[in-house]
Structure 1
Amino acid sequence: MTTKHHDASVYEQVQSSEQFQELKRRFRAWTFPMTAAFLAWYLLYVILSAWARDFMGITLFGNINVALIFGVLQFVSTFLIAWAYARHAGKKLDPLADQLRHEVEEKQQ
């Protein structure tokens, strides 16, 4: 029972630490704006598909129209966001998270 209470105490201490709060701030500072931007981009595609059919139906070349290009760009933007997040996490989040993990491991021993 004492060990479980001790473990909870360690995690509570880490959660209230400046480093953990900084980790949360860095995570939110990147993910919230990026999520909003992606949702806006996706909703633009949906809205244009529903209410701007003439625009989306413009043929660019061959059988390729604006709607198809926008659809493909949805996939491209998803992969770009995943790549950018991996870079962001590697530079800004992982080092701080590793430091916090080492501190927790030391306190638990």
Structure 2
Amino acid sequence: MQASDDFRRLRRSFRAFAFPVTVAFCSWYLLYVLLAVYARDFMGTEVVGNVNLGFVFGVLQFATTFLIAWAYSRYARARIDPAAASVRERMDGVATAPAGKAAAAGDAR
């Protein structure tokens, strides 16, 4: 099944979202940490009252996490779930078919 085109498309769809978003979020987090360590004056800049940029950036880390989860759920619903259903149906068909039909189904791939 791993060699099938459906499975390859499924894996490619997942990676098309997961890898770039992971790199972007890790970069954003690393920027936050580096600013907190090396740009203390900048991060200590007060925005409103006692709320400084460090606190705002920290809260934005949580907001980014929720935004990514929401975006992934939409992406998965549109692209990954249909491909996964197709792979699952093929696997169920191969697993439940009699031995002769399973071999024929495997030859059709």
Q: TM-score range by the shorter chain?
A: 0.7 to 0.9
Partners in 1 of 2:11 and 2:89 — Cα distance? 17
Of structures 1 and 2, the one with the larger relative CO (CA 8 A, separation 6+) is 1
Distance (Å, rounded) in 2 between the aligned partners of 1:102 and 1:20:
12
SS in 2 for 1:60: strand
Alignment match, 1:16: 3
RMSD: 0.6
2:22 equivalent to 1:35: yes
**Residue matched to 1:68:** 55
Partner of 1:108: 95
Q: Please list every run of 5 or more consecutive structure 2 residues that lacks an aligned counterpart in the other structure.
A: 97-109
Is the counterpart of residue 80 in structure 1 residue 67 in structure 2? yes
Q: Percent identity?
A: 51
Question: Deviating runs (4+, > 4 A) in structure 1?
Answer: none
2 CA distance for matches of 1:107 and 1:24?
Answer: 20
TM-score, normalized by length of structure 2? 0.86
Residues 1:44 and 2:61 aligned together: no
Once residues 86 and 12 of structure 2 are traced to their aligned partners in structure 1, the CA distance between those partners, rounded to angstroms, is 16
Tell me how many residue pairs correspond in the alignment: 96
Tell me the TM-score normalized by structure 1. Answer: 0.86
Unaligned runs of 5+ in 1: 1-13
